[in-house]
Structure 1
Amino acid sequence: MGVYWAIGIRSFRRFSTYRIATASGAFTNTVFGFILCGVYLSLWQARPGLGGYDTADALTFVWLQQGLLMPIGLFGASTTVELGERVRSGAIAVDLYRPTQLLLWWLSMDLGRAMFQLLARGGAPLLVGALVFDLKFPADPQRWPAIALGIVLGILVSFGFRYLVALSGFWLTDSRGTEYLALWLSLFFSGMVMPLVVFPGWFGEFARATPWAATMQVPIDIWLGRNPGGTGAALLFQLGWCVVLLLIGQLLTLLATRKVVIAGG
């Protein structure tokens, strides 16, 4: 496992070199946080208690959402986008020559990226939001380990799905169409557009059962203490999707690499 640890550390260092981009991204997340707060305040004033959230819950959701956006990689993290490009260009052949597992290599890369984004960009929007609005923070110290675990599992679930999207290039030749579809599905069903608790009936239940819900909605609900079945059930839900997606990813990796044809030679 030492090699994968080293890959993760180098990925962390790689993304830490883009300091101006990181600061600009944190500023952008903060600006969008204020815009969304304006929308949410209007909505919750018109519909108090919408989805079981009060106004403080909704505003806290906004700032946690903005802090987790880049670590979770809902817009398509650069590591998995790079993997899709390497499949498309044929450079994936170099990756297959390495004496490492393809999935673990890219998972290590993505975890290094996510940890840097979490440390550098995760807390800045939340801190600004807390200075302006009355946000909710967990009062019970015992909930913090569960929150940390929920965030890590959310990152793993997100990677599992993005990895499958990148692998689609082995069969489709070009995975960019799949990436665009995955982007919109991720943004909607993760709770990025609107908290999933506001969707009623069977559609709301379906949205909260998808793997995308495990990436953002569930970790934020752990923070808010709003998980219907409790924190343990929420973590098991995330863990279940994590195992399923990574197992499918490993199976498809084996199928995809049994015979690889590189365009142009």
Structure 2
Amino acid sequence: MYGALLKFGWKRQIQYRAGMALRLAGDMLRLYVKGCIWLALLRDDFRETAAYTLASLMLLILTDTRISGELADRVRSGMIAVDLIRPVSLKWYFFFDQLGENLLRFLAEGAVLIPAAVWLWKLPFPSVQSICFGSIAAALAVVLCYSIQYTAGLLVFWMKDGTYTRMMTDSLFTLFSGLSIPLWFYPPWLENICRYLPFRLTVYEPVCIWLGRYTDAECIRLIFLELGWLLVTAALQRAVWKRIGAVLEIQGG
């Protein structure tokens, strides 16, 4: 079932080749502009920062999700009633459908962006250990990011609109995940706040593992920390679902 959803999302993304081409062009421009900015600001540490920018962009493609908007649309239309009686988890139904699209974008854009960035800025290659640990951390980051977005998206059952939850989660990820700026540039007080939140585990920490900034022991600790936060979000989702059962109101349909 989940494999079929993954395949369906992949095929749907293939159908919109023009959209993929435009996104690729936009991501190439974003990567180039950011690289130019870092090159101007950080002559000495540019290669590591440029590698961080590239890796964070690729991870952003994998973690992209529209679950908040999807839930809002289905609650308003009443289609959520159909979703709830399907013989498949609502959470994983959306996850694998979205993952199919993201994987195709990752492969298609990565085949262009990664070689271009490595050639243009002479970026360093990660070690085998960094690739192994980083890939595990990135896979968990994809699930953790989606779980956080899904948990926030469930609030639509009360708010009836996913706009605010999406704005809220996007702002939190932008500020605390290290998506736009590596957290090592943050002031110490703000970096300490980030360490107590799960958002850094979705971008900053997996990328730092890829860059070889951590020892093997630290990599293993971060992976277990990701697993811990996945358990926390799962517990929050169960608690929210119990409340949804009492207040669910199907509109339209």
Alignment TM-score, normalising by the size of structure 2: 0.90
> Alignment partner of 2:42: what SS?
helix
> Once the 2 structures are TM-superposed, how far is the Cα of residue 78 of structure 1 from its aligned partner?
3.2
Is 1:151 equivalent to 2:138 in the alignment? yes
Separation (CA, whole Å) in 2 of partners of 1:58 and 1:208: 20
Question: CA distance change for structure 1 residues 121 and 239 in 2, over 3 Å: closer, same or farther?
Answer: farther
1:260 corresponds to which of 243, 248, 253: 248
Q: Which runs of 5+ in 2 are unaligned?
A: none
Q: Which amino acid aligns with 2:92?
A: L
More moved, 95-104 vs 105-114: 105-114
Residue 79 of structure 1: how far off its partner (Å): 4.5
Instruction: Go from structure 1 to structure 2 and tell me whether the alpha carbon gap of 1:124 and 1:243 turns closer, same or farther (over 3 Å shift).
Output: farther
Unaligned stretches of 5+ in structure 1?
A: 49-53
CA contact (8 A) 2:67 2:150 kept: no
Which of 179, 184, 194 does residue 197 from structure 1 map onto? Answer: 184
Runs of 4+ in 1 over 4 A off after TM superposition: none
Query: Contact between 1:225 and 1:231, CA under 8 Å: does it hold in 2?
Result: no
Structure with larger RCO (C-alpha < 8 A, sep 6+): 2
Q: What residue in structure 2 maps to residue 29 of structure 1?
A: 27
2: CA distance, partners of 1:138 / 1:24: 29
Residues 1:56 and 2:47 are matched in the alignment: yes
User: Cα gap change, 1:38/1:126 in structure 2, threshold over 3 Å: closer, same or farther?
Assistant: same
Structure 2 matches for 1:85-96, cutoff 5 A? 85-96=73-84
Asked if 1:178 is matched to 2:165, the reply is yes
Shift of 1:264: 4.1
Q: CA RMSD in A?
A: 2.1
State the TM-score, normalized to the length of structure 1. 0.86
Q: Is the counterpart of residue 39 in structure 1 residue 27 in structure 2?
A: no
- What is the alpha-carbon distance in structure 2 between the residues aligned to residue 251 and residue 122 of structure 1? 38
Is it true that 1:251 corresponds to 2:239 in the alignment?
Answer: yes
Match of 2:155 in 1: 168
The range that moved more, 63-72 or 225-234, is 225-234
Identity of aligned residues (%): 26
How many angstroms apart in 2 are the aligned matches of 1:9 and 1:44?
42
1:68 equivalent to 2:59? Answer yes
* SS of the residue 1:116 aligns to: helix
